[in-house]
Structure 1
Amino acid sequence: MDKVVHSAADAVADIGDGATLAVGGFGLCGIPSVLIRALLARGTTDLSVVSNNCGVDDWGLGLLLREKRIRRMTSSYVGENKEFERQYLAGELEVELTPQGTLAERLRAGGAGIAGFFTRTGVGTQVAEGGLPWRYAADGGVAVASPAKEVRTFGDHEYVLEEAITCDFALIRAWKGDRQGNLVFRDSARNFNPLCAMSGRITVAEVEELVEVGDLPPNDVHVPGIFVQRVVVLTPEQAAEKRIERRTVRPRPDAA
């Protein structure tokens, strides 16, 4: 039952080329930065990644993107990464843009064993009708476009069918965890992490603080250990290393 592994390198050692990967975080908040760097060092490539966004040019998933290790992204927001834009428009990266709430539910459904679900989000748009450019050709044309999805009427409204997402692996970051993989997240760092943990067949969690089994009150556990296969304990320096995409502050009242 002890799921603690020796190092981040050991935890990602079996993530091979072409793997599908769910990665927690929102912006740069709650991202598994140590596991991402370990995967970068391993040299794994041709990855299909599901994550709310793709980091920034020099941090998070942006590091893998910069080295062209990612073949395909399924995301809801990609606006903080210039290299992402360049690769997408040049036809080097396939991108499936998904409404944020739909992405969250697709991950949750995958973890719950639900094949798909109907939602009103996207009805009457290219999300349902198809034609969104997933991958561009070198000449600027559309090489791969999104397919049309089934639309059905329930009551007075139309709904579009969305398929669940499951991945070979999931990488997440937690505030606290125990040796059995029970996890607690802090504030907004919770974000997509529990959903990604559910959707991965093998979930690897980096934790800022390791506690003993029984120290976490059951009602405080956000992700039970049944969803987690490996736990990596961060050093104090690794746990403290966090970034903000755009730091915005107000001038002090006495600045004048």
Structure 2
Amino acid sequence: MDKRVASAAEAVADIPDGASIAVGGFGLNGVPIVLIRALLEATATELEVVSNNCGVDGWGLGLLLAAGRIRRVVGSYIGENKEFARQYLGGDVEVELTPQGTLAERLRAGGVGIPAFYTPTGVGTMVSEGGMPWRYAADGSVAVSSPPKPTAVFDVFGTETAYVLETAIRTDFALVRAAKGDTHGNLVFEKSARNFNPLAAMAGRITIAEVDELVPAGEIDPDAVHLPGIHVDRVVQLSREDASDLPIEKRTVRERKEA
């Protein structure tokens, strides 16, 4: 099946108000920026986004956030986005903070049909006991807090260990970025862009991929495929200019020693 779509705008045109969207990327790496910009130009609002972070000020998901189009975020990191922190603390956006590894597994579980799983991460903290602020009120009080989660003790290799039950994540749509893809939707990711992108793609009921390079079906060695096309519904080929739009999140330099 040929899954090519002519433009990013066409690919995201049916994303409605209130949709949940899993978005790949980590910081500025592997972010489906062209699809995000197309979504920004569209009308969908009140979105629920599931992503490791919410971009940075002026780039990535930070664009949708600054435009007031995101209602809720499920993620593991706020740090580099001042607007994200401002909206969260000001009660403008609801945030479900989740340990990073747990978030990754929740996405993977959603993709493979596992409804929930036990993990030791977060046991004995607000992650399992509840009370983590999800939304603040305008006066700074907590308007919505996380509920407690079921826990259980298992004998693991002769040691009784407490675990917390985490539910899988399944979203209406997923937006991902790949270095290479074919017309059937098989994808190859570049280095650390492989972290959250395959997992986000698996979690989406409708998954849209933007690719730096698009090749005919069968040209990618099956052993080199990182994500099979069964998980991908639409593929958008990036222009050379868009594919090279790769900003550096943190630039660290040092003075050269004199010769």
Category of TM-score, reference length = shorter chain: over 0.9
CA-based RMSD of the aligned residues comes to 0.8
How high is the TM-score relative to the length of structure 1?
0.98
| Alignment-derived partner of residue 191 in structure 1 | 195
Q: Tell me, what secondary structure is at the counterpart of 1:162?
A: strand
Gapped runs of 5+ residues in structure 2?
A: none
Task: Find the counterpart in structure 1 of residue 152 from structure 2.
Answer: 152
CA distance in 2, matches of 1:168, 1:248: 38
Amino acid at match of 1:186: E
1:79-94 pair list within 5 angstroms: 79-94=79-94
Where does residue 32 of structure 1 map in the other structure?
32
CA distance in 2, matches of 1:125, 1:75: 17
Equivalent residues in 2 for 1:1-256, closer than 5 Å: 1-155=1-155, 156-254=160-258
AA matched with 1:124: G
Query: Displacement of 1:250 after TM fit?
Result: 3.4
Structure 1 residue 244 displacement after superposition: 1.7
Tell me the matched-pair count.
255
Q: Quote the offset at 1:39 in angstroms.
A: 0.1
Supply the distance in 2 between the matched residues of 1:251 and 1:78 (Cα, whole angstroms). Answer: 31
Residues 199-232 of structure 1 deviation map (CA, whole Å, 9 limit, x = unaligned): 0000000000001111100010000000000000
Alpha-carbon deviation of 1:179? 0.2
Distance in 2 (alpha carbons) for counterparts of 1:203 and 1:250: 42
Cα deviation digits, residues 119-175 of structure 1 (max 9, x gap):
000000000000000000111111000000000000110000000000000000000
Counterpart secondary structure, 1:251: coil
Report the alpha carbon displacement of residue 249 of structure 1 after superposing the two structures with TM. 2.8
Local SS of the residue matching 1:121: coil
| 2:80 counterpart SS class | coil
Separation (CA, whole Å) in 2 of partners of 1:43 and 1:246:
32
- SS of residue matched to 2:207: strand
SS in 2 for 1:169: strand
* Structure 1 stretches lacking a partner, 5+ long: none
Shift of 1:251: 3.1
| Cα offset, 1:248, TM superposition | 1.3
Kindly provide the amino acid, as one letter, of the partner of residue 128 in structure 1.
S
Q: Secondary structure at the match of 1:6?
A: coil
Residue identity (%): 68
Within 1, Cα distance between the matches of 2:177 and 2:256? 34
1:55-86: CA deviations, max 9, x gaps?
11100000000001000000101101111111
- TM-score if structure 2 supplies the norm length? 0.97
